[in-house]
Structure formats: structure tokens, C-alpha cells
Amino acid sequence: MSKITVIGSLVMDNVAKMKKFPEAGETILGYTLELFPGGKGANQCVSIARLGGDVEMVGMLGKDGNGDVFRQIMKDEGIKSEHLFSCDKPTAVAQIQIDESGQNRICVIPCANYEFDFADLDRVDDVIKNTEIVVLQLEMRLDVTKEAIRRAHAYGVKVLLNPAPAVPLEEDVLGIVDYITPNETELSILTGMPTETDEEVIAAAQKLISLGTKNVVATLGSRGALIANKDGAEIVRGYKVKAVDTVAAGDSFNGALAVALTEGKSLKESVRFANAMGALTVQKKGAIPSLHTRAEVEKFIAENN
């Protein structure tokens, strides 16, 4: 069994680059259209592996060419994948637009990701029981994801939830999450509170803490991340870099956070490490192709601190 288990999505990304995003009803000419393997679950899992973490990927693929691509990636990255199941629906796909500043707009069509159901969760019960931390996102079925969170918590396994794409979650779910990692928009959706200013972000994070979430790590882009828990709130400074493509930056942040936490680093140290991983990711295009290795992250930290 692995120290870290990612239960999550795998998505083939169709990425179009353009000067600026089209308005509703507008046609524009773009620069390039490329295919990259991604999906929040797969991105987080590959990040963990490239940073030296012991990780297993649990999820659902189609029996198609895209599914074969992901199976090969798992093999190449040394990721355990005996519980990466196959179904008759196609592997998930996404349409992604990237503008000149590297910002993105993403639409995911879940396909096979939504075929992972309660019976599949039963098949991985022992995997959940015997891991140290389960890493989840919200790109699979919400009811199944919530049940995975409940099971992990019942087994005394830590839960790291990246609540993306965000939806409001019930208090009984938020109350058993050890680490939740929303960006500002997601934090606002989770809490129903504004998150425009640092003060508002802190207030929204404190609301989650009051509901029982142990640690909130709110990502703030290049400004870094806010840590909030019962001991207080603090912003851990990020790195200013030139973004070419922000896809998977949040995912690599989450992967790095999981690795550092399971290595026994403090939450603040773990967030520093995760900030560096995220800062490197935005400098390269694509999702999985933009994920850096441990050596690259350590070099970046040494050169930028």
C-alpha cells in the first residue's frame, strides 16, 4: 500500500492558445491547438510521483487510446495503478483556452470519471484503510467523493480535499476534512462569503475552521497561500514568475503539499514547498508535461529564497 492515495480524475486536455478569450457570440482566430494529458487527479498524482512520493492512483479510464496514454504514464512515472479501472465510456476530455497572460478557462466532460461508483469504492476499501493520506478533488461523482471522504476519516486516514470545481459542501463533510485547498473563487463558493481582500479570505477560511475543517490552505496565485487553523491565520509568500500557462498549477501545489506533509514537514514548510512547485508549473505549457521534479523544485527554492 502507498503512503498517499489519489482518488481522482484523468482527463485528456484539448488546449487552444489565443491572444484573448472570445466574448459570447464572438469568433476569434487562435494560435495553436494541442493535446496534453491532465485532469486534476492525474496531475496531482504525477506531481507526487515526480517529487518522490509513494503514491497510488485510483480512478476510471475508458478502453480507448486516451486511456492507454494514461496507463503508460502511470507505468513511466512508477505510480501504482492496480485500482485504475476501465469502463465502456470514453476517457474524460476537456476543452481549455489559454490567453496571452497564461490564464485559463476550462470545461471538463467527465465521461469515464463519472463511472467510478460506490461499488468501485468498495473495491478500494483496503487501499483507503492502509494509506496515510487520501487526496481528492471534485471532478468525480460528488456523492461517491463524499463517501470516500467519510470512509477515510472513519479509518483515521487524513483527507486532503482540493475543492475544484467548487460546489457548496455540507457541514458534515467540511467538518471531517484535514486539509482543504480552495483558491479564492472556490473559497467564496464553499462559504457563500466574499473573498476579494485578504481580510475577507481570512474571514471565509475561519468560517470553514468553525465548521470543523482542521486546516484551510487558500491559494492566492503568485501572492502565495493563506494557512488558517485553530492557531490563527498567516499568508505564506509565493514567487513572482512569468506565467505562460497556469493549467495544473493548483494541482502541482496540492501534490507537493501532500508529499511535504507526509514527510513530516510543518504546514508552513509544506506550503512553501508547494508554492515553489506551483511557480515552476506556470512557466511550462500543458498539464502533466508542466510538472517538475524534486531536484528542479529544490534548485528553484535555493535560487529564489
Residues contributing to the site for ligand RIB (CB under 6 A): 9, 11, 13, 38-40, 43, 94, 106, 108, 139, 247-248, 250-251, 287
* Residue closer to ligand RIB (CB basis): 40 or 158: 40
- Phi, psi angles (nearest 5°) of residue 187: -65, -40
Q: Is 117 a catalytic residue?
A: no
* Residue closer to ligand RIB (CB basis): 37 or 202: 37
- Number of other residues whose CB lies within 10 A of the CB of residue 237: 13
Residue of 54, 178, 245, 251 marked active site: 251
* Residue closer to ligand RIB (CB basis): 182 or 202: 182
- Phi, psi angles (nearest 5°) of residue 22: -70, 150
* Residue closer to ligand RIB (CB basis): 4 or 94: 94
- Cell match 467540511: residue? 174
Give the rounded distance of the alpha carbon of 159 from its chain centre.
13
What cell does 22 get?
A: 472570445
Shortest approach of ligand RIB to residue 95 CB, angstroms? Answer: 9
Shortest approach of ligand RIB to residue 46 CB, angstroms? Answer: 11
Under a CB-based contact definition with an 8 Å cutoff, are residues 227 and 271 in contact?
yes
Q: Which residues pair with 36 in a beta bridge?
A: 13
Shortest approach of ligand RIB to residue 99 CB, angstroms? Answer: 15
CA angle 283/277/247 to nearest 5° reads 50
Shortest approach of ligand RIB to residue 286 CB, angstroms? Answer: 9
Under a CB-based contact definition with an 8 Å cutoff, are residues 180 and 217 in contact?
yes
* Residue closer to ligand RIB (CB basis): 58 or 202: 58
What cell does 205 get?
A: 477560511
Q: How far apart, in whole angstroms, are the C-alpha atoms of residue 231 and residue 253?
A: 23
Q: How far apart, in whole angstroms, are the C-alpha atoms of residue 94 and residue 107?
A: 5
Shortest approach of ligand RIB to residue 41 CB, angstroms? Answer: 8
* Residue closer to ligand RIB (CB basis): 42 or 201: 42
- All residues at 6 or more sequence positions from 68 whose CB lies less than 8 Å from its CB, including other chains: none
Shortest approach of ligand RIB to residue 186 CB, angstroms? Answer: 12
Measured distance between the N- and C-terminal CA atoms of the chain, rounded to whole angstroms: 36
Catalytic residue ranges: 251
